[in-house]
């Protein structure tokens, strides 16, 4: 996979964390995944088509997903609810939109489908490409001081 496909996703994730959640997310070491399954407990997945095609999956562990919900919506919550699932879907939508904006700068025009959200760890995912999946871990600190991670998994060609 061309390395120029990674930067739009990195830029998108970090911009959305800063603007919508008001926190910094630092990227850890990218991993090549050979398992096509969810990395966390709540995962938003979205297909991208146009000049190129690919799939993006945004995945949080339970506590990270709850933190995102509380920060985005401003309500309290202690467990995964349909509202938490919807919030991860919207975050996926926003990150995807920001990534498409970054791709436009490289003259790559993409359209996105409506995101689907899957609850459960290691649930099989259908990526629309056959090439390996790159998993980008973004580390952040949640409101209780706990270290959390968002996995941005994508396959793009």
Partner 1 sequence: MKVLVVDDFATMRKIIKNVLKQISLEDVVEAESGKHALAVLKTESVDLIISDWIMPEMTGIEFLRVCKGDEAYKKIPFIMVTAEAQKDNIMEAIKTGVDNYIVKPFTPDKLQDAIDKARARVGK
Residues near partner 1 (CB under 8 A) are 15-16, 19-20, 22, 72-75, 83, 86-87, 89-90, 93-94, 97-98, 100-101, 104
Nearer to partner 1, 63 or 70 (CB): 70
Specify the residue, 94 or 136, whose C-beta has the smaller distance to partner 1.
94
Q: How far is the CB of 145 from partner 1 (least distance, A)?
A: 22
Q: How far is the CB of 88 from partner 1 (least distance, A)?
A: 9
Distance of CA 73 to CAs 19, 88, 107, Å?
14, 11, 34
Query: Of 99 and 133, which has the nearer Cβ to partner 1?
Result: 99
**Closest separation between CB of residue 132 and partner 1, Å?**
28
Contact yes or no for 137/36 (Cβ under 8 A)? no
CB of 119 to partner 1, least distance (A): 15
**CB closer to partner 1, 24 vs 83:** 83
């Amino acid at each position: 996979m061309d390395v120029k496909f990674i930067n739009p996703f990195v830029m998108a994730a970090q911009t959305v964390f800063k603007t919508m959640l008001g926190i910094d997310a630092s990227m850890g070491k990218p991993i090549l995944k050979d398992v096509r399954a969810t990395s966390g407990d709540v995962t938003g997945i979205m297909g991208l088509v146009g000049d190129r095609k690919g799939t993006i999956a945004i995945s949080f562990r339970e506590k990270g997903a709850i933190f995102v919900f509380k920060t985005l919506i401003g309500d309290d919550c202690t467990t995964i609810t349909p509202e938490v699932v919807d919030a991860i879907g919207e975050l996926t939508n926003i990150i995807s939109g920001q990534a498409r904006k970054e791709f436009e700068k490289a003259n790559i025009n993409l359209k996105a489908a409506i995101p689907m959200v899957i609850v459960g760890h290691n649930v099989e995912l259908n990526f629309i490409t056959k090439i390996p999946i790159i998993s980008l871990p973004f580390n952040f600190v949640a409101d209780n001081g706990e270290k959390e991670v968002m996995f941005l998994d994508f396959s793009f060609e």
